[in-house]
Structure 1
Amino acid sequence: MRKTALLLLPLLGACVSTPSPSGPGPSRPSAGTPPQQVRPAPTTQAFRAPRIMNMPGLENVIGKNETALANLFGAPRLNVKEGDARKLQFAGDACVLDVYLYPLQPRGEPSATYVDARRASDGIDVDRAACVRALRR
């Protein structure tokens, strides 16, 4: 009995009618009204300054540009650019250091504003300053 009722549900759904919109069709603008112009949304976004990490032991990293970081740690293992931001990854036996660079002013050169560190072996978070010390040349 239940199977029969379930089989009839789609058939009953097909019998339901949808109301048609009432009223006259689309109206035409009067001859004296000029057509409206549609303007596309602006594609540029307002500059938003990044928050800058402030932790002891990171003074040699925060605020540095890509060249200064490469001088400090060597060539990055990973260099990802997205828009005006950049992520550099430096790795050693002890840890992996991710440095995020953002411009501090509109059209400015990206500078390190945030650092994250993890153990190279298992990815567990480690002390950022200790990782910086371990990776320095």
Structure 2
Amino acid sequence: MKTPKDKKTIADFGEQWTRYQDNSGFYGSVGLLADYLEPLFPIEEVNGLRVADIGSGSGRIVAMLLQAGAEHVVAVEPSDAFHVLASNTSDVASKVTLIHAPGDQLKVEHPLDAVVSLGVLHHIEDPGPTVRAAHAALRPGGK
């Protein structure tokens, strides 16, 4: 059960991603994704992976992961901006699984190679359940 603070945070981000839907330019580039991930996770290693993005918002990171060569992305978004995520990923729908739920409800049919949650975990009052769900969704040796 989400706390009142978590519910407000989800609502606030939903409003933000509904209002600001454009992910163009460097803001939505593989170069910025590399800045986020490297040197811990070289961008070249995304190629061919099944990845989850917890807190997908408007789909910016989802698009970046696909541009970097991810085979499939599971996009998890709990807010009312889920419709923005669905719209912004409609052109790559066969490569994206959408989950309209908080990160602690991440469940996948096939284990994932990696899970990212960029700019999200520190906003969750108790991130433990989300981290445990992410870990449970990974294949052995996943990142």
* Global fold match (TM > 0.5): no
* TM-score normalized with structure 2 length: 0.25
Give the structure with the larger helix fraction: 2
Larger relative CO (CA 8 A, sep 6+): 1 or 2? 2
- Structure (1 or 2) with the greater strand fraction: 1
TM-score relative to the length of structure 1: 0.26
